[in-house]
Structure 1
Amino acid sequence: MNYLLTAALATLTVAGAWAQPQPKTTKPRTKIGTTVLPLPGRPEPAVTKGEIEAQMRFLASDELMGRRTGEPGNAVAARYIAEQYRMLGLKPAGDQGDYLQRFSLDKIGAAQSATLLIGTDTLRLGKELVVMAGGPATVSGGIVYAGYGLTDGEEGYKGQDVKGKIVVVQGGSPDAKSPREIFRAANEKRKLATQKGAAALLELYSESIPWGFVNQYFSREQVNLPVAETSEAPVTHLWINNANNKYKQLKENGQAVTLKTSGRSQLSVSTANVAGIIEGTDPALKNEYVILSAHFDHVGVGKQGGSPYQPSDSIFNGARDNAFGTVSILAAAKALSQQRPKRSVLVLALTGEEVGLLGSTYYADHPLVPLKQTIFDLNTDGAGYNDTTLVSVIGLERTGAKAEIEAAAKAAGLSVFAEPAPEQGLFDRSDNVAFAAKGIPAPTFSPGFKAFDEAIGKYYHQAIDNPESLDMNYVYRFCEAYAHAARLIANRTTRPQWSAGDKYEAAGKALYGK
């Protein structure tokens, strides 16, 4: 009910936007021409440029206010996508007999103050400290060191009663390498410390993410999945910059400290993924699913965006990231619903990617179709493009559908570039990784680029990333290639497989029993 009320209020907000002062000046609008009919011999004749352009202009419009997760513009985008599914005749796959997979998130405001006194040293917010979670706290006493703080074993809480005490733990985990893994470990530590009744949790941070980035990130609002499935408030949780093991004395039980912090405000908000099914035609293969995924959220308005902006242009429209991907799954949904493939297809628009891959993480833990029957995820996402002759595929060489993807791109007049910008670690930075971690082969089908250069940086998470700046002919061909790749993969005789030795191969064998 609360989610529907939010969507209704959002719709009223959009409807009244024309009469209200706008946060930025009106951009020049180019006239949308008549719908461009598909050319003879195109691989997916249901995909049309005019329809794609209209969808893009709505999803990346000023009125949706940057589609930030948990805010009205995001709810309007979700409703729009759901109604596109309805128009195409997709079977509702949501949790209440409709297209929405609803879930709650915690919206957490930035801390205003924090200090930690260790002997004669005072550590301060914005310098040596960041506050990750928890309410106001003033607490003094001897610390209890609990290793990584992830278990009740030797490297954790074994033999220690920490109720009402300040717990210190080592940052990360023995296996945490990527940002996603580091944050996941932190969440698990907070959950366990909360269950044990700790007064505060101090984590000694010396991980791969630079401290400057960590400091900047936590000085802004975050949106997270709830750590626990209860209403219990999380323990006050701080990260301490422990570069070069500077505060090693905090690993000594009994070391006296005094902590004072304003904590962080916390508000529960509702959001939703949007899911519809195209049933396959083959009597046996229709029980297997190919997921087509794209995130429809972006970063919002003004300071929410995390990048510089002008007062006259403060809305981060997110045309490239990721209205581009959203119109691609809608184009594929149209093409595949008009001529259904052998396997079933779950068309999945995900929220919360920009605030930590939250929608895909939630889906992977609460799947709408069995994960064991999900043979592939063709994710589409990207920072933009600098080459309109190709598509770039992150994970092309790893996920077992190279031939189908290359054939689809060629049919749309494009080539394929594999594994762009390898130094960026892109495979683990989009929604595909939530599926990969469960064992499902999951590449990301991206607009054409080979490296992060000025052409990418000009628009990536910038307020000028608007529909008017796009090459719509390229968007059309990209959508065609994506839709055709989805068809070829859904019609494969055999399931795609992880490449031998891939880091996710073992998860795949565990999931599928092979």
Structure 2
Amino acid sequence: MFKYALATLLSGFVLTAASAQSTSKPAGKQSGRLAPPRPMAPVAKLPESSITRTEVEAHTRFLASDELQGRRTGESGNWIAARYIAEQFRLLGLKPAPGQSNYLQTIELERVVPARSATLQIGSTTLELGKDLVVMAGGPIDATGEVVYVGYGLTDGEDGYKGQDVKGKIVVAQGGSPDAKGPREIFGASNSKRKLAADKGAAALLELYSESIPWGFVNQYFNREQIAIPVTSGGSSADLTHAWVNNANNQYKQLKEPGQSVTLRSSGRTRSMVSSANVAGLIEGTDSKLSDEYVLLTAHFDHVGVGKQGGAAYTPADSIFNGARDNAFGTVALLTAAKALSEQRPKRSVLVVALTGEEVGLLGSRYYAEHPLVPLKQTVFNLNTDGAGYNDTTIVSVIGLERTGAKAEIETAAKAFGLSVFAEPAPEQGLFDRSDNVNFAIKGIPAPTFSPGFKSFDEAIAKYYHQAIDNPESLDYGYVLKFCQAYSYAARLIANRPNRPQWSPGDKYEPAAKALYGL
């Protein structure tokens, strides 16, 4: 998986957007906002204006080629892409990040193969794997025993384990939590329940699932191979058998009653270790003071792989999910920015990071946020680029434009290359929290995502998003070039700002920023 030849990067970002209806205001006269920045030099004289269509097309055709086999995290094609990006950084003269001997930030990951079989016997009723039962964790088990209901199973209080001896017993917990609204919170609560049940010596954990994520999605996701950052709590939590029971309409409410006995059988989920890597290169700033601050540029280069790994329809003639749009497109924008900014360096330092593992749970960005290569408190901005595709080649779409303090720079950059900006597409979909930028935002770093132009998740997007048809031959390279140039110029303008971008007052990530930067 980490051998073979070269390749390049890019990956995707989950978009399930309905129509979006608000565009950003044109730069210039804006109530309460500064006018757009004046460039230090005419745009035509900057290196980003000299990038050619041939360059961006060549990068894209390599990264999204069949030979890279869909760039799936942990597979050889993903490593080839990482090596290709690293050697592009070397060619451009980027330095390894401080403390690194090369461009690769290696990440040890855990590959989990789903259970092949599982049943839960409740009286005369048998629940089967997939239809009413999903195995979340644990090895083989064949256990019959009394169940103990512990409410949400998150505390030792009244709605939890208070007064309950669960050692060697099968614990039953209500799904989700009182505060869990979206997938991140639901899965986070579930992991916390498993850890607490394991710590208390339970034989297994059954969670009565009736949450907002459709059961079909849950079933599909947990009955295919997964890759994750390993649990570091001694392994007991990962070893505990944990299953979700489809409790729609409260149909298995009898499991909450005392004295119930069940039989749980599962072939178990098997685990093995795999490696992947983020790819990081440094461009040192020119200003004696501002060079100690960093602008972080990111794009994910992984995609979903081949055949059944892709999770969508394929044919024997085309079973490779090439991921030209998601996210070779964004990876090429990252390489374009690396070239332009290295040829004429900005005032602040710029760390260019191609991220792995986005498609399997934002893993590369999460790992970097916990193991940063430059101090997070000196990282003043993250400009992420990711997308499912485009349905409008006159715009770029920016998720977080109105929140993260660099609207003027982004609009100026887009306009310089003949594009306008569509702000906050499909806000009801919560897209800000569904790409790599969110792991930096959680730490307090202003972090929008600069995406190919879309106003709604329509047929033009769905035709290619996570489909085997998403090949490099189908792209509009004139638009790809303008997008890459605009991204590069936006990065330059942000890196040259005299003051740091700031979160909008009252933003949910503003408290994290105050803690990080000591504001």
The two structures share one fold, judged by TM-score above 0.5? yes
User: How far off is 1:43 after superposition?
Assistant: 7.1
The alpha-carbon distance between structure 1 residues 225 and 158, as it changes in their structure 2 partners (threshold 3 A), is farther
Kindly provide the CA deviation profile for residues 275-330 of structure 1, in whole angstroms up to 9, marking residues without a partner as x. Answer: 11111122222121111010000000011101101110000000000000101111
* Structure 1 gap ranges (5+): 1-5, 15-38
Q: Which has the higher contact order (CA 8 A, sep 6+)?
A: 2
Q: Does 1:7 align with 2:24?
A: no
The answer as to whether partners of 1:191 and 1:227 remain within 8 angstroms in 2 is no
Q: Does 1:299 align with 2:304?
A: yes
User: How far off is 1:375 after superposition?
Assistant: 1.3
* 1:149 match: 153
Q: Does 1:56 align with 2:60?
A: yes
Q: Aligned to 1:206, which of 201, 204, 210?
A: 210
User: How far off is 1:158 after superposition?
Assistant: 4.2
Q: Aligned to 2:481, which of 476, 479, 493?
A: 476
In 1, Cα distance between equivalents of 2:146 and 2:262:
6
In 2, Cα distance between equivalents of 1:318 and 1:477:
20
The answer as to whether partners of 1:145 and 1:168 remain within 8 angstroms in 2 is yes
Aligned ranges 1:341-490 → 2 under 5 Å: 341-490=346-495
Q: Aligned to 1:240, which of 242, 245, 248?
A: 245
Question: Residue 499 of structure 2 aligns to a residue in which SS?
Answer: coil
* 2:230 match: 226
Question: Residue 181 of structure 1 aligns to a residue in which SS?
Answer: helix
In 1, Cα distance between equivalents of 2:273 and 2:81:
20
Question: Residue 205 of structure 2 aligns to a residue in which SS?
Answer: strand
The answer as to whether partners of 2:204 and 2:241 remain within 8 angstroms in 1 is yes
RMSD: 2.1
* Structure 2 gap ranges (5+): 8-42
Kindly provide the CA deviation profile for residues 323-378 of structure 1, in whole angstroms up to 9, marking residues without a partner as x. Answer: 00101111101111111111111111111111111111111122121112111111
In 2, Cα distance between equivalents of 1:87 and 1:182:
44
Question: Residue 291 of structure 1 aligns to a residue in which SS?
Answer: strand
Residues 49-58 or 305-314, more deviating: 49-58
The answer as to whether partners of 1:43 and 1:412 remain within 8 angstroms in 2 is no
In 2, Cα distance between equivalents of 1:484 and 1:375:
17
* 1:36 match: none
Question: Residue 384 of structure 2 aligns to a residue in which SS?
Answer: strand
The answer as to whether partners of 2:46 and 2:344 remain within 8 angstroms in 1 is no
* 1:20 match: none
User: How far off is 1:159 after superposition?
Assistant: 4.8
- State the TM-score, normalized to the length of structure 2: 0.89
Kindly provide the CA deviation profile for residues 431-471 of structure 1, in whole angstroms up to 9, marking residues without a partner as x. Answer: 11111111111111000110011110111001111111111
In 2, Cα distance between equivalents of 1:284 and 1:152:
51
* 1:72 match: 76
The answer as to whether partners of 1:187 and 1:227 remain within 8 angstroms in 2 is no
In 2, Cα distance between equivalents of 1:357 and 1:509:
24
Letter in 2 for 1:462: Q
The answer as to whether partners of 1:109 and 1:221 remain within 8 angstroms in 2 is yes
Q: Aligned to 1:334, which of 339, 343, 352?
A: 339
Residues 138-147 or 288-297, more deviating: 138-147
User: How far off is 1:88 after superposition?
Assistant: 1.4
* 2:137 match: 133
User: How far off is 1:253 after superposition?
Assistant: 4.6
Kindly provide the CA deviation profile for residues 61-116 of structure 1, in whole angstroms up to 9, marking residues without a partner as x. Answer: 00000000111100111111111111112221287521111122121112221111
Question: Residue 269 of structure 1 aligns to a residue in which SS?
Answer: strand
The answer as to whether partners of 2:47 and 2:344 remain within 8 angstroms in 1 is no
- State the TM-score, normalized to the length of structure 1: 0.90
Aligned ranges 1:253-264 → 2 under 5 Å: 253-264=258-269
* 1:103 match: 107
Could you list the runs of 4 or more consecutive aligned residues of structure 1 that deviate by over 6 angstroms after TM superposition?
none
The alpha-carbon distance between structure 1 residues 325 and 198, as it changes in their structure 2 partners (threshold 3 A), is same
Letter in 2 for 1:178: G
Query: Quick one: percent identity of the two aligned structures?
Result: 75
The answer as to whether partners of 1:110 and 1:220 remain within 8 angstroms in 2 is yes
* 1:86 match: 90
In 2, Cα distance between equivalents of 1:364 and 1:103:
13
Number of matched pairs = 484
The alpha-carbon distance between structure 1 residues 153 and 359, as it changes in their structure 2 partners (threshold 3 A), is farther
The answer as to whether partners of 2:47 and 2:341 remain within 8 angstroms in 1 is no
Question: Residue 462 of structure 1 aligns to a residue in which SS?
Answer: coil
